[in-house]
Amino acid sequence: MDGRAPDPLAGALLDNRYRITGRIARGGMAIVYRATDVKLERQVAVKVLDIASVRSSVSGSRAAELTAGFHREARTIAKLSHANVVAVYDHGVHDGSPYLVMEHVPGRTLRDVLAERGALAPVVALYLFEPVVHALAAAHRAGLAHRDVKPENVLIGGDGAVKVVDFGLAHAVGAATEPADGNLFATAAYVSPEQVAERRADARSDVYSAGVMLFEMLTGRLPYLGDSPAQIAYQHMERDVPPPSRFAPGLDRALDDLVLGMTRKDPKARPADAVALLTGLRAAREAVLAAEERTRTPTPTPTQVLAGLRPSQDQAAEGRPEGHLAKRRPARTRRRNRLLLAGVGCLVIVPALLLIPALSLIPQGPRPSDVEQTTTPAPTTRSPAPSRQPADPGRSVLVRPPTTPADRPSQTPEQPRPAKPGAKQPPNPPDHRNCPPGYEDEWWYDYCR
């Protein structure tokens, strides 16, 4: 036993429809339960106003006004449909305590993230903050102010969706209690100066509270600290919010300008509503992204690493002075020269390759060895000489090489032939050195000189 009193709503069935299955969180004004809609068979969140904690500030005549105002705000919120706003499904009263039935967003709050990580990176902070501004802009267009913007009311789902909850709840409670004793039903750390001094709030008050929340997201701390909520609220009214870069050096100046513009003490100096704030927020985001892009050191690729090392390696291998490689011809010029040399080589080599087979087809003349042979072929193997007409002594004689082995002269030296009977002897001894071989039987052979 832990000594704690059992929760009276544990297992309760509200309006014969919503079965309470557990507690999610407890805030200053309400308790959030997990419940099951038995009609639609879906998980929902039920926020029950802790009437005991606020009853001391509410007189008997104000109790009914509190309930009526709560239901009025619930109906207004139910009409608000936006992806970054927690949807309201139903509302009612259980044992005198008003409750809201809302969309169940499994995940955690922005307060849990800040408690775990502290200051967020600018890009991450803007990523989470921009959906909050979109939700406020949707409410401001509908004429509804939140009046209690803080990290506890920003839900971050398991899928990364950012949603804002509790629109109008502070207004419903504050309208019934503030005239009685002047107490402020808002979180002192994020309250605007006009809420402290004049007990009034509008869209510009939401802008101020959102600026304080962005300050905490960027720095991991609140702009003002104090021993009590009253001391913190008084500083909001009397002092200016410092720039975030004072506590987080290195932040882009655009973020300082954004936060300082949202947290001016004079409401007229702030953006009129969240719709006007979106323009400045987007400009700041672009400035932050551009600054990170300029300061980001790109990781070199392997090709870039090798390209950076190649000149030093070449210089070391060739023993050339530093800066020699810078005088080399451009890569385009070297490539063009190589292509030109390759073209000239092709013009020379290709015709030569084509000419070699053509030369082999040209007929060859008589070989000198065949012409100079003067020996006579053997009688038994020699073919009969072709019959030819007497040649004119003044004409040149066609000399043909032997075509068959039988026509080829033997290797024995020529023997002098006996003179024919009755033949006229030449005046001089015959000299057949210039006579063609194979024509010895011709009548003119003896006159050949």
What 71-76 contacts at long range (C-beta under 8 Å, 24+ apart), as own/partner pairs, is 71/98, 72/172, 73/167, 73/168, 73/169, 73/171, 73/172, 74/98, 74/100, 74/168, 76/142, 76/144, 76/168
The residue whose two tokens read 């071989």 is: 437
| DSSP 8-state code for residue 20 | E
Helix 169-181 × helix 60-78 angle, to 10°? 160
- Paired tokens of 44: 């929902």
Helix 122-141 × helix 274-295 angle, to 10°? 160
* Catalytic pick among 2, 148, 431, 441: 148
List alpha helices for 11-161, DSSP H.
Answer: 51-55, 60-78, 110-117, 122-141
| DSSP 8-state code for residue 26 | E
If phi over 0 gives left and psi between -120 and 50 gives alpha, with beta otherwise, what is residue 25?
A: beta
The C-alpha atoms of residue 374 and residue 155 are separated, in whole angstroms, by 123
∠ CA 379-383-387, nearest 5°, is: 115
- Paired tokens of 184: 């402020």
Q: CB within 8 A of 11, min separation 6: which ones?
A: 19, 20, 21
Residue 314 is among the residues annotated as catalytic for this protein: no
The catalytic site residues sit at 148
